[in-house]
């Protein structure tokens, strides 16, 4: 059974940093592109970043480029999102997701990030 378990969310002040993790199991992690997708409270879904199966390619939405870094450790079957210079508009539930081509076949349960002073 595919499982994706996020951790690392919490309350953080504007301008500070936070690092999210996603532990994967039930599939060969190194075979799949992975992504982070977020959802602000009571809002829609917003793709944040994608990393290729081997970590050689990364893609970001413009609003997080230069502030967020997606990475992975295939030996540990873990996906990461380093978030720096956080803003109030980054407040959201962050989901880890496994790619199926350009779509998202499996999702974690999400971790809430709240950016507030």
Partner 1 sequence: DIQMTQSPASLSASLGETVTIQCQASEDIYSGLAWYQQKPGKSPQLLIYGASSLQDGVPSRFSGSGSGTQYSLKISSMQTEDEGVYFCQQGLKYPLTFGSGTKLEIK
Task: Return all residues near 19 (Cβ < 8 A) that are at least 6 apart.
Answer: 8, 80, 81, 82, 83
Which span sits near partner 1 by CB under 8 A: 14-22, 74-82, 84-92, 96-104?
A: 96-104
Angstrom CA distances, 41 to 6, 38, 45, 57, stand at 18, 10, 10, 30
Here's the x/- map for partner 1, 12-51, by CB under 8 A: it reads as: -----------------------x--------xxxx--x-
Pick one of 21, 27, 59, 84: the residue that binds partner 1 (CB under 8 A).
59
Residue numbers of the site for partner 1 (CB under 8 A)? 35, 44-47, 50, 59, 61-62, 95, 100-110
């Amino acid at each position: 059974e595919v499982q994706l378990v996020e951790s690392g969310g919490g309350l953080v002040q504007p301008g500070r940093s936070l690092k999210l993790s996603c532990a994967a199991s039930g599939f060969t992690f190194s075979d799949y592109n992975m992504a982070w997708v977020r959802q602000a409270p009571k809002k829609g879904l917003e793709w944040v970043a994608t990393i290729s199966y081997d970590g050689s390619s990364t893609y970001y939405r413009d609003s997080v480029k230069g502030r967020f870094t997606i990475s992975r450790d295939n030996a540990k079957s873990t996906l990461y999102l380093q978030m720096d210079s956080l803003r109030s508009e980054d407040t959201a539930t962050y989901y880890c997701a496994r790619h199926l081509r350009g779509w998202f076949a499996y999702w974690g349960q999400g971790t809430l990030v709240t950016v507030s002073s």
